[in-house]
Amino acid sequence: MRGRNFIQKKTVITVQICLLCWIGAMAPASSFAYDLPPVNLGFTSFLDGGPPAGPGFYFTQYIQYWRSDSFRDKDGDRLFPKVVNEDLRVWISLTQFIYQSNQPILFGGKWGLDVIIPYVSADLDYDIDAPLPQANSSGIGDVLVGPFLQWDPIMGPAGPRFMHRVEFQLIFPTGKYDADREINPGSHFFSFNPYWASTLFITPRWTLSTRIHYLWNAKNNDPNRAFGDADDTQAGQAMHVNFASAFEVIPMKLRLGLNGYYLKQLTDTKVDGKALNGRKEQVLALGPGFVLHLSKDTHFFFNLYFETAAENRPEGERLNFRLVHHF
């Protein structure tokens, strides 16, 4: 029996050593992607083409919970064997201030300003001790500032038919960042993330909404440790889209619907000016949601998302809560 136990223990130790060596071989920058900064994945959804109560000041509070137990590689397969049992849990708070003027300045679009202050808390655990990606502690994320143009709704005989907006969103590297961590509240580089948002009223009670972003990223002159001794990195350009459809089941009170998002990295990440192949990120998510109109000035949104088709990033589920108030 002692000999048998010795063989079993030796086998377990051998497997652990092989696993650690395998993960160690995966550690260079060519293996871990997750290069893009945090962006709007599912924060906005129904009736996104216009403010719910016209010009004025708005306060919005978002709370989003994202959990993933499956990091994916460039082919969409698990990056690590199941024994690693990665467990990523992220709480994201966005505090948003919006001013929508009543003054048209360009092609009938009325100017406005959008400011978002994020706070991020991430927790990443594994079942084994190995050189794996690590998360930074809680902290302020990268502040977003977006001047925008909002057009008045195009009206039909029974109410609005179409409304839309263009925003020139700037993401400033104000967030907490540690080069010895792969997952941080802040990205440590500037990004330009303009978007077009619209809502189409198929009928007075049935709507389709979308928000289409394009993402450009500047250089990070203090890249994280996964890039070794690189002097700088530059995340690739990407597009990401939120989309939703809702039906008004209780007039002026409740809309139920489906919501989703899609992210696709379009160009390669660069390290010291040279493109790295096999690091482009992708994810698709779908799920149910609703918007509850508490009054004409206060609205509550709920969204649930199930991610799939992820490449070079974690894949999981998101819960999103959003409260909007117009002063």
Dihedral of the alpha carbons of 283, 41, 32, 79, in degrees to the nearest 10: -40
| pLDDT for the residue numbered 33 | 55
Structure token digits, residue 126: 């594994």
* pTM score: 0.90
| pLDDT for the residue numbered 40 | 97
> For the chain, where are the alpha helices, taking DSSP H only?
2-26
| pLDDT for the residue numbered 17 | 41
Contact 115, 143 (CB under 8 A): yes
In the chain, what are the domains? 2-326 (2.40.128.130)
| pLDDT for the residue numbered 4 | 46
| pLDDT for the residue numbered 14 | 40
Low-confidence ranges of the chain (pLDDT < 70): 1-33
| pLDDT for the residue numbered 131 | 87
| pLDDT for the residue numbered 130 | 86
- Give 67's Cβ-side CA count (13 Å radius): 4
| pLDDT for the residue numbered 29 | 39
Structure token digits, residue 71: 């990091």
